[in-house]
Amino acid sequence: MSSFLTSAGVAALVAGALIAPPASAADDPAVPPAAPRRASSTAPAPTDQFIVKFKDPAAGVPAERARAYGRAAAKLGAAVKDVRATSSGARVLRTDKTLGADDAAKLLASLRADPAVAYAEPDALLQAKAADPNDTYFQFQWNLSEQPGGMRVTRAWDVTRGSGQVVAVVDTGITSHIDLNANVLPGYDMIADPDNSRDGDGRDPSPADEGDWTDIGQCAPGTPVMDSSWHGTHVAGIIAAVAGNSEGIAGIAPQAKILPVRVLGPCGGRTSDIADAIVWASGAPVAGVPDNANPARVINLSLGGTSPQCSPAFQDAINTATGRGAVVVTAAGNESQPAASSSPGNCQNVINVAASGPSGALAPYSNFGSAVDVTAPGGDMTPLPGGSADSGVPGGILSTLNDGPTTAGPEAYYFAQGTSAAAPHVSAAAALLMAQMGPGATPAAVEARLKSAARPVPGGCPPGCGAGLADAAAAVLHITMVVASGDLSGDGKADVLARDNGGVLWLYQGNGRGGWLGRVKAGSGWNGMTSIVGPGDMNGDGRNDVLATDGSGALWLYPGNGRGGWLGRIQAGNGWNAMTAIAGPGDMDGDGRNDVLARDTSGVLWLYPGNGRGGWLARVKAGSGWNAMTAVVGPGDMNGDRKNDVLARDTSGVLWLYPGNGRGGWLARVQAGIGWNTMTTITGRGDFNGDARNDVLAVDTAGALWLYKGSGTGGWLGRVQAGSGWN
């Protein structure tokens, strides 16, 4: 086994060979401003609370207030309660229901039009906003930024920084570094062979990187002289370098802890040592080694070798780790070939990571294909056209390193590229998620959240980039939309269900005109669900239901009560964590009962015919090659032929309409749009504007919610914005 990392052959940044340190704090855009950042907009969001101040204090008597409030609220069918006075003499008022953005704006406009009112504004919920850290080279960490290829880490820090999480780095060991030491736990050297351990004593409690330099022909005939890579130190810095210490860089999960486990020596590492390291890191016992006092929640494997099949020893170890609740993240490999040929990335129960560059495109060296789960920044140091050999180096991933050519020397910072750098991005994102989701977070739930929050690769990724680009902010701030083709609230209008990052499920009641009446809490604790689809009547009682899968793969039927809530849930299946996309319900086979479509990890699309009682008839294969699709939406009649269709987006952003044949299959697909890779969520097949034609809802990267009005012939009449802040 070897590492998947290429380091730039340049001097350390501290020596000024590539970039000079900022001249002063005033010149450093990464130094936080003196004042906290303010919210960028006061545009109304869904709310039930407002602030109103009257021009004349005498006008603020109860009778005058009641008249002003009543005039404004009567137009919206809402009642208003005066709650209290503020220190400035304004009044806080609350409506008897949450108003959607449109209705909140109307209420404010009505209040502001009252000549007695000095001002009116929403009593907005604000959150603490973390300023960019003051780390010296933070400005060069494009991989953490909002740029097209960045993982949007700084926005995720407003929610979590990974506190309390342990990430095992199973690698070459670690070196002392000012930007790492505070976040490093006692680890272990798992190299059993003294000849390969370079410390002469086999397995021992010291995970110190002894250097992996090699002489000519040392590893195989003709292999060249190689300096030490200090690979584990670079990987560890990406994950959890200390942030805000005026030194070097910031890790993605800067409050997480690193558990270094040494398995790679001068010529790589043995499968047996790596398998034992995975087991030990998870907290399970390994013969002859003291138990790990700090079990890892995440295990990073930035290593691998060419093999058409997963090693059984690896699979056993990975199963042990995931069974104990650890997420296992692997590097897809750097051979520009299908990732299925690289192990342990081709094992089950791992998150296998391909690499992208600053543009967000797949890096030229990265492996690809159906064995990739997600793509993350790994760097692309290809020289710029007409530039010097080093001109592309800043396109790499900057992290901690050591400057010793053989044994450890001065600490340093280097750019590097490889899927070895991409994997720790996802490991760190998993740590952020686990800190947010709590101790009950399962590996399957974390993987599902990372995949569902991934955004499309710019320009597409025909070779296969998994779910897309990992997005830390979208993962921790994630709202999973579930569109209603039917009615959940009993008013005959299509609604939307949305889950916020706290696991609360909200029902957004449609007004039948493309907007919302307001939102109502429909449940809590739904962050344990990896997918939610619906609604549709699955049990034949005439009321629309919802289906949800949990982290263990159980499929649950939540029977609707027809009033926006649920009756007791019923298990409708298990093993559904093998599915990467679920769409429905809808009648695909023409028997009058609602069915579900599900795509498995190999890209096969399956039709699960409903039995009308909340269960299934035998599943039927409905297609193959669907892992080329980054979104699957439906079923619903989009072309007016009274048969349910499916919409799917491919990796290049083309939206395709698959017209149903009414027998569980498809007619020839038709292009329904281009440029849809700017949408982070596509969901639909419901009539939201009351014209009796099915529409689609989509959320863009800025969080705007768009209603695409269906033409009834498989196309669109245009789009209108239906909300904001949905990211």
**β-pairing verdict for 166-171 and 80-85:** unpaired
Give dist(CA 62, CA 81) in Å, integer: 11
The fold for domain 47-122 equals Alpha-Beta Plaits (3.30.70)
3-state helix, strand, coil in the chain (%, to 5): 20, 30, 50
Q: Is 3.40.50.200 the CATH classification of the domain at 2-18+136-216+232-384+395-473?
A: yes
Q: Note the pLDDT of residue 128.
A: 43
Q: Is 239 helix (H, G, I), strand (E, B) or coil?
A: helix
The number of CA neighbours under 13 Å toward the Cβ of 429 is: 37
pLDDT single digits (tens) 22-48: 222 222 222 222 222 222 233 445 677
pLDDT digits (tens, 9 = 90+) for 695-717: 888 888 777 888 888 888 888 88
Range with the poorest average pLDDT among 501-505, 619-623, 650-654: 501-505
Find all residues with CB under 8 Å of 194, minimum gap 6, and list them. 200, 201, 202
Per-residue model confidence as pLDDT tens digits over 454-474: 888 887 888 999 989 999 998
Buried b (16+ CB within 10 A) or exposed e, 573-596: beebbebbbbbbbbbbbebebbbb
Please give the mean pLDDT across all residues of the chain. Answer: 84
Kindly state the average pLDDT of the residues 362-380: 96
Q: Hey, where are the domains in the chain? A: 2-18+136-216+232-384+395-473, 47-122, 479-723
Q: Return the structure tokens found at 710.
A: 């269906």
pLDDT for the residue 703:
75
Alpha helices in 22-169 (DSSP H): 62-74, 101-113, 153-156
Residue 207 amino acid letter: P
| Region of 92 on the Ramachandran plot (φ > 0 left; ψ -120 to 50 alpha; else beta) | beta
The pairing of strands 327-331 and 351-356 is: parallel
Model pLDDT for residues 60-82, shown as the tens digit of each residue: 556 666 666 777 677 777 778 88
Alpha helix stretches (DSSP H) within 200-296: 231-240, 271-281
Task: Look at residue 202 and tell me whether its pLDDT is greater than 50.
Answer: yes
d(CA 469, CA 377): 8
Q: What is the pTM of this model?
A: 0.67
Q: Pick the residue with more confidence: 143 or 1?
A: 143
pLDDT tens per residue across span 650-677: 877 899 999 988 888 889 999 999 988 7
Q: Which of 219, 225, 284, 279 is nearest to 1 (CA)?
A: 219
CATH 2.120.10.10 fits 479-723, yes or no: yes
Alpha carbon 385 to chain centroid distance?
33
Predicted pLDDT at 314? 96
- Whether the CB-CB separation of 724 and 522 falls below 8 Å is answered with no
Cis peptide before 585 (omega within 30 of 0): yes
Q: Determine which of 139-153, 322-336, 406-420, 582-596 has the lowest per-residue pLDDT on average.
A: 582-596
Give the residue among 260, 240, 256, 236 at the shortest CA–CA distance from 188.
260
Q: Would you state the structure tokens that stand for residue 324, as one six-digit string?
A: 């104990």
* Element containing residue 63 per DSSP (H, E): helix 62-74
- Tell me which residues are annotated as active site: 171, 231, 420
